[in-house]
Each structure stands twice: as structure tokens, then as C-alpha cells.
């Protein structure tokens, strides 16, 4: 594949199978990438891995891809087992956070509503499309699980046992964000940070680990990207 085209599909991928793609992906193939019948592409999902396919039909209403051989098997487990919780931001910043979190391999994304949040609603279909495009570009196999926004207290009340929640708090007298073994999640506040009452609530939960991202005040989207990178920066084994 000279210029690799990767597309995510929820359809089953098996040798000899035929997969139908929706109009938006057909448009991408034919109009954006100038692909034609006979061209080779890759289709993938977290369940079946990544497969080599060949375009057998391409029209405005959809496309059909013949599945040939497996290029990569599905991953045995998410790597890393990392979630992101972030307070809702303005739409461009929210889009950026979802895109970069997907590229960094995050398994689940939880928007939350806080006292300083800039909105309570998101277009999940739009965010899912952004995550799908980011997965296609970054060569990951799975898509992150995107959750509907919920209030911060509700998220904390339903938090699963065994997963630490690293709270990136500006000007915190706390250790720096650092990778440790086991499931983890990062929570980042909105523009202006968490309210004092929210900080008290966070610190009251034993699974929450306050942490700092350094001496500078970062934009919320920058904090999310930096924190996720630090949580994956485990020392290499020799």
C-alpha cells in the first residue's frame, strides 16, 4: 500500500468476507483519497484486528471491500489501561482533547460537568467521528469508549474499585504525575480550575491521588495531553 488508507469498521473481518462501508467512508475513499476499485486498503477494529482489503465497488451511496489477509491480530488487552476524565471545555478544546487522547491510546473518555465547566452538552456523534479519525491516523486498533457528560459527584460515586484517579491540580503541594503499575485515570479540571468545594470532594475519596504538572499554569487541553503522556512514561525494562 503506497499511501496507506486505514478505515475503522464495526463489521466482522474474516478472510473472504465482504464488508459494506457507509456513504461517508465511500466519499473519503473516492473523493478525498481518489481510490478506485481494485485499490488495497486496511480495515480494522478492536475485536478482529487489522485486515488487508480490496475495493470491489465504490459509489456515492457506499463501498464494498473484499477482505483478504490479516495484517495485525487484535490486542490481548488495552495498552495502556488508562482513562481520561475532563471537565467540559469550549468545543474546539474538547475536540482537541478527544483527538489527542485517542492518539495516546486512552481506553475510555469521560466528560464531566463541574462548577466552572463551559457547557453541559456535547455532540457525542461528532466526538466519536473525531476519535475514529484519530484512531485511523495513529494506527491504533480500538476506539476509546466515549461516555455522555455527567456531574463530577456522580462520576466519583460510581468509580470502580482498583483504579486510581490522578487529579492534576494546579499550584498543588503534591507529587508530580507519574506512571505506576495497574489501571489508572487522569482527571483534569476546566478553565479556571476546580472550585474549592470540588477539591475537597476529590481529596475525600481514597482512590484520588492529587498530583502536579509542574510550576506553570497550563490550559486545560494542554494539561490533559501532558498528564496522559506522563502516566505512560514508565521506565523501559532492560
User: Do 116 and 155 fall within a single domain?
Assistant: yes
Is residue 186 situated within a structural domain? yes
Short-list 193, 191, 185, 197, CA closest to 169: 193
Same domain, 101 and 203: yes
pLDDT, one tens digit per residue, over 33-50 is 999 999 999 999 999 999
**CATH number, domain with residue 167:** 3.40.1280.10
Q: At what angle do helices 220-231 and 91-103 cross, to 10 degrees?
A: 10
Domain identity same for 64 and 89: no
Domain encompassing residue 61 = 6-72
- Is the pLDDT at 27 greater than 70? The verdict is yes
**Residue of higher predicted confidence among 113 and 118:** 113
Q: Is the pLDDT of residue 2 over 60?
A: no
> Residue 233 burial (CB < 10 Å; 0-12/13-18/19+)?
exposed
Together in a domain, 62 and 88: no
Task: Say whether both 48 and 109 belong to one domain.
Answer: no
Residue with cell 480494522: 44
Q: Are residues 208 and 101 in the same domain?
A: yes
User: Are 150 and 188 found together in one domain?
Assistant: yes
Tell me the per-residue pLDDT of 135-173, one tens digit each, with 9 for 90 and over. 999 999 999 999 999 999 999 999 998 999 999 987 778
19, part of any domain: yes
Instruction: Kindly state whether residues 57 and 16 are assigned to the same domain.
Output: yes
pLDDT in tens, 50-86: 999 999 999 989 999 999 999 999 987 656 799 999 9
- For residues 63 and 89, membership in a common domain is answered with no
pLDDT, position 79: 63
Output Rg (C-alpha) for the chain, integer angstroms.
Answer: 20
Whether 31 is in a domain gets the answer yes
Question: Does 219 share its domain with 125?
Answer: yes
Query: pLDDT at position 78, please?
Result: 58
Q: Are residues 149 and 31 in the same domain?
A: no
- Number of domains making up the chain: 2
Residue 152 in any domain: the answer is yes
> Per-residue DSSP letters for the chain?
--S--EEE--S---TT-EEEEPHHHHHIIIIIS---TT-EEEEEETTTEEEEEEEEEEETTEEEEEEEEEEEPPPSS-SS-EEEEEE---HHHHHHHHHHHHHTT-SEEEEEE-TT-S-S---HHHHHHHHHHHHHHHT-SSPPEE---EEHHHHHHTPPTT-EEEEE-TT-SSPBP---SS-EEEEE--TT---HHHHHHHHTSTTEEEEB--SS---HHHHHHHHHHHHT-PPPP-
- Whether residue 236 lies inside any domain: the answer is no
208 in the same domain as 107: yes
Amino acid at each position: 500500500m503506497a499511501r496507506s488508507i486505514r478505515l475503522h469498521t464495526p463489521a466482522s473481518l474474516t478472510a473472504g468476507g465482504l464488508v459494506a462501508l457507509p456513504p461517508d467512508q465511500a466519499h473519503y475513499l473516492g473523493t478525498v483519497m481518489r481510490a478506485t476499485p481494485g485499490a488495497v486498503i486496511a480495515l480494522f477494529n478492536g475485536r478482529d484486528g487489522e485486515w488487508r482489503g480490496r475495493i470491489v465497488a465504490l459509489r456515492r451511496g457506499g463501498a464494498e471491500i473484499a477482505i483478504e489477509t490479516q495484517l495485525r491480530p487484535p490486542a490481548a488487552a488495552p495498552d495502556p489501561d488508562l482513562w481520561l476524565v475532563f471537565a467540559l471545555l469550549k468545543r474546539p478544546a474538547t475536540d482537541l482533547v478527544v483527538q489527542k487522547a485517542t492518539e495516546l491510546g486512552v481506553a475510555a473518555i469521560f466528560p464531566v460537568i463541574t462548577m466552572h465547566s463551559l457547557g453541559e452538552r456535547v455532540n457525542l456523534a461528532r466526538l466519536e467521528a473525531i476519535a475514529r479519525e484519530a484512531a485511523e491516523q495513529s494506527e491504533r486498533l480500538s476506539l476509546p469508549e466515549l461516555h455522555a457528560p455527567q456531574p463530577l459527584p456522580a462520576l466519583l460515586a460510581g468509580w470502580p474499585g482498583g483504579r486510581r484517579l490522578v487529579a492534576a491540580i494546579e499550584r498543588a503541594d503534591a507529587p508530580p504525575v507519574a506512571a505506576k503499575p495497574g489501571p489508572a485515570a487522569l482527571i483534569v479540571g476546566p478553565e479556571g480550575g476546580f472550585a474549592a468545594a470540588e477539591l475537597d470532594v476529590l481529596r475525600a475519596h481514597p482512590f484520588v491521588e492529587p498530583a502536579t504538572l509542574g510550576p506553570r499554569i497550563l490550559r486545560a487541553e494542554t494539561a490533559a495531553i501532558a498528564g496522559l503522556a506522563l502516566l505512560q512514561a514508565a521506565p523501559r525494562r532492560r
